[in-house]
Structure 1
């Protein structure tokens, strides 16, 4: 099975929310069973994401891992070709298709500048702090994967603080709560600190300064 089923795998798996009766949906179980069997007969690429008939639902329940895996398999190809190919495989005018494209544009950074051969987004965020972070090269137009920036490359001292077993790092003068590991499936995650967290960080740094 090729990526032509990607839209169904990512979007049209059982959904959560308002419950509906499957008996009122013509061919629902038959279609779901057929799609599941096709996935089982695949070479294994999508086997961890096989659809299971667990919920009778209406709202979206995202399963984005197949999309991420497919995009990583397209690295070093022209982004226009990758995007066009995906659009041919899904119904872009449907709600499900628009939902998939929304996630596509959050996974792939398209507005990039290169500084000393290092990719940065337009808001000056260096790419690579998330595992397998994808971007479109501004000169070649190819889909690329950013070289991962491991936590060991963070500056020590005033750019890294540990509070209650939580790690905070300053990147491009912005403080982030950093979680995860480069060895995990999701890789390193970071979230910009709120005012309360920044206040705690400043207190920690002041304590360190007073101790010195």
Structure 2
């Protein structure tokens, strides 16, 4: 749970505590009020039910109203805090993502490939929160937009996937490849160099070398995509 969620959770817990107290007070007030209004005096004495004075009713009402007001204030504060926190978190996320992509300018693709698979790329970009330009560039470098190409290692399709069925199908390949790339971006906290290195050489090698592996192929791969 991140710090923002912890604050929201704490505020919700405080509200629930105040609400339960108000609910209990309301129940007590209602019970006493019913006793006062619905039970005849003679019956009250006969059954030994405790009577409620006007002063007690007034105090109970005051306590009840105070708790209700406190609960409403707590709810309003919790809602405002949650809304403010959500806006701040969204703004921070947008700023962070913008900074990440600005730090790694993605090279453009060739004009002849610009319109190829644009709808599939756009859908994958929106689904996995990965820039369209990055997906296009990876496809350019991996296969030059040829869905039927297979490497000597067995990588297949537009984004050169090693595993999975129907890898030559553009829709399946782009979706699976983008999902894998997005998982690496998340794994390395937005470090695009490490994410691309993992995509090319595998996360095991990134871990083994504590960063971008010293493989000429991987280093050239990064240069081709982000310079």
- TM-score, scaled to structure 1: 0.22
Higher helix residue share: 2
Higher strand residue share: 1
